[in-house]
Amino acid sequence: MTSSTNMRLRLPLLCIILEVILIILFGTLVEYNDDTHAKLWNENRTDSATRNDHENEFYYRYPSFQDVHVMIFVGFGFLMTFLQRYGFSSVGFNFLIAAFSLQWATLMQGFFHGLHHGKIHVGVTSMINADFCTGSVLISFGAVLGKTSPVQLLVMAIFEVTLFAVNEFILLSILGVNDAGGSMTIHTFGAYFGLMVTRVLYRPNLDKSKHRNSSVYHSDLFAMIGTIYLWMFWPSFNSAITNYGDPQHRTAMNTYYSLAACTLATFAFSALVNPEGKLDMVHIQNAALAGGVAVGTAGEMMLTAFGSMIVGFLAGTISVLGYKYLTPVLESKLKIQDTCGIHNLHGMPGVLGAVVGAVTAALASPDVYGHGLQRVFADVETGKWNPQSRGGFQAISLAVTLGMALFGGLITGFILKLPIYGAPPDTHCFEDGLYWEVPGEEEGHQELYEVATPNEVEKLSS
């Protein structure tokens, strides 16, 4: 049974058990918050004549939430459809683990972010935060794409969401740092967690599936749907949970400029590193997004448009160079098989974003921010604010995040290595047919999508 990839019992059992646990915990622990509760919202209103329905946080957060939601489900989902025979799994498993993670994240984040009389309060802001946490899991998914069963992915999500919430709590609540767009909490954490998992799950014989580990013409176009949606809505992502007013507005704009500059860098270096000067879809699909990652921390600060453009340009550059020169080395020397190259899109740009955030925080001054200083740096009000120590805490947060991610990925990797999850054999990685009913192509192509039955797989992999 261990080498069988048959999901008939494992996947339903796990999904049903998890959902039942979630429902029980939600029933016990979760309540509507003041803005979603019929009684509480209208009670408060009676108290104060000036409050009206238009002030419900729904109207100021929900459009951002929907943009983030599109990034999570369409953006990440389609970005990973670039593989020639892994489109169903890319979109489908993305869908599954995201739907699970957002529920689990609501509980974990609610627990750490502060209970209200023992209850977790939910509303649109918790929905955004849950989607953020989910994003981190999907980043890690990119590293192990094509080499894991859906059961493994759900198990990974259980652990990763939990550790994400712990790390986020340390950074935002204990260290009190800024990371609205998640350069550290989401991107750096998700990337190094995933890289460590894929390191532990190293497959020396993965080249047996090498012929499927590449794109075809139309799969690259599907992937561009993911890329473009991520690119367009990244300004909403980075600004979704900043304070209202100038911080949210500024964050969106800084991200917009960073991404625009990043795109030019990506095209420039993609052509430059190719002997014939041809552009590589892998770079365009991924590196052009690095500019959004790299302003995830500093975006809400007074980074200025041209500062954002410099950061974006750098991010695009290191990302393309990473794909070209670093990824092959990581695989051959460090045995890190990173299917989507998340180290180049989320890892290095996330670290860059953390550093830029630390520097920008250290340079903050009342001269520049005026009364807006306390809107960005929460500890100004408590009188504890000091730009240098702020910068220092930001830097410490990066170290904490890297440590948590690598340690968490290590443990999780070993758990995922147990031979009980129906992982694909080396010969059938990057292949939808293992877990999906796959239709034939038009007549004459059917043989392409014929895959071994589970029994044959057992034989093959034994």
Q: Does 214 bind a second copy (CB under 8 A)?
A: yes
> ∠ at Cα 26 (105, 185), nearest 5°?
10
Q: Does 240 bind a second copy (CB under 8 A)?
A: no
- The backbone torsions φ and ψ at residue 281, rounded to the nearest 5 degrees and listed phi first, read -55, -35
- The backbone torsions φ and ψ at residue 139, rounded to the nearest 5 degrees and listed phi first, read -60, -50
Which one of residues 119, 166, 243, 362 is an interface residue with a second copy (CB under 8 A)?
A: 243
Is 255 in contact with 238 (CB distance < 8 Å)? Answer: yes
Rounded Cα gap, residues 360 and 301, in angstroms: 7
Which one of residues 116, 210, 218, 335 is an interface residue with a second copy (CB under 8 A)?
A: 218
Which one of residues 166, 175, 232, 363 is an interface residue with a second copy (CB under 8 A)?
A: 232
Task: Tell me the closest approach of the beta carbon of residue 111 to a second copy, in angstroms.
Answer: 15
Within 10 A of 67 (CB to CB), how many other CB atoms are there?
21
Which one of residues 40, 200, 411, 415 is an interface residue with a second copy (CB under 8 A)?
A: 40
Is 314 in contact with 262 (CB distance < 8 Å)? Answer: no
Q: Does 70 bind a second copy (CB under 8 A)?
A: yes
Is 7 in contact with 435 (CB distance < 8 Å)? Answer: yes
CB of 29 or CB of 406, closer to a second copy: 29
Which one of residues 79, 122, 351, 402 is an interface residue with a second copy (CB under 8 A)?
A: 122
Q: Does 116 bind a second copy (CB under 8 A)?
A: no
Which one of residues 277, 332, 333, 383 is an interface residue with a second copy (CB under 8 A)?
A: 277
Residues in the chain: 462
Query: Strand ranges (DSSP E) for 138-212?
Result: none
Piece of 97-105, 157-165, 178-186, 322-330 that binds a second copy (CB under 8 A): 97-105
CB of 32 or CB of 202, closer to a second copy: 32
Task: Tell me the closest approach of the beta carbon of residue 7 to a second copy, in angstroms.
Answer: 4
Tokens linked to 379? 């500890």
Is 409 in contact with 197 (CB distance < 8 Å)? Answer: yes
Which one of residues 166, 175, 200, 221 is an interface residue with a second copy (CB under 8 A)?
A: 221
Q: Does 124 bind a second copy (CB under 8 A)?
A: yes
Piece of 325-333, 340-348, 392-400, 441-449 that binds a second copy (CB under 8 A): 441-449
Piece of 157-165, 217-225, 331-339, 379-387 that binds a second copy (CB under 8 A): 217-225
Which one of residues 53, 207, 381, 450 is an interface residue with a second copy (CB under 8 A)?
A: 53
> ∠ at Cα 66 (68, 372), nearest 5°?
70
> ∠ at Cα 320 (316, 326), nearest 5°?
130
Task: Tell me the closest approach of the beta carbon of residue 321 to a second copy, in angstroms.
Answer: 13
Piece of 88-96, 165-173, 349-357, 407-415 that binds a second copy (CB under 8 A): 88-96
Rounded Cα gap, residues 221 and 228, in angstroms: 11
Task: Tell me the closest approach of the beta carbon of residue 233 to a second copy, in angstroms.
Answer: 7
Rounded Cα gap, residues 287 and 46, in angstroms: 52
Q: Does 328 bind a second copy (CB under 8 A)?
A: no
Which one of residues 3, 45, 426, 460 is an interface residue with a second copy (CB under 8 A)?
A: 45
Task: Tell me the closest approach of the beta carbon of residue 247 to a second copy, in angstroms.
Answer: 7
Is 140 in contact with 190 (CB distance < 8 Å)? Answer: yes
Is 131 in contact with 68 (CB distance < 8 Å)? Answer: yes
Angle between helix 10-29 and 150-168 (nearest 10): 30
Piece of 172-180, 373-381, 392-400, 423-431 that binds a second copy (CB under 8 A): 373-381
Within 10 A of 334 (CB to CB), how many other CB atoms are there?
12
Q: Does 310 bind a second copy (CB under 8 A)?
A: yes
Is 195 in contact with 143 (CB distance < 8 Å)? Answer: yes
Considering only residues 2-31, where is the footprint of a second copy by CB under 8 A? 6-12, 15-16, 18-19, 22-24, 26-27, 30
Q: Does 43 bind a second copy (CB under 8 A)?
A: yes
Q: Does 309 bind a second copy (CB under 8 A)?
A: yes
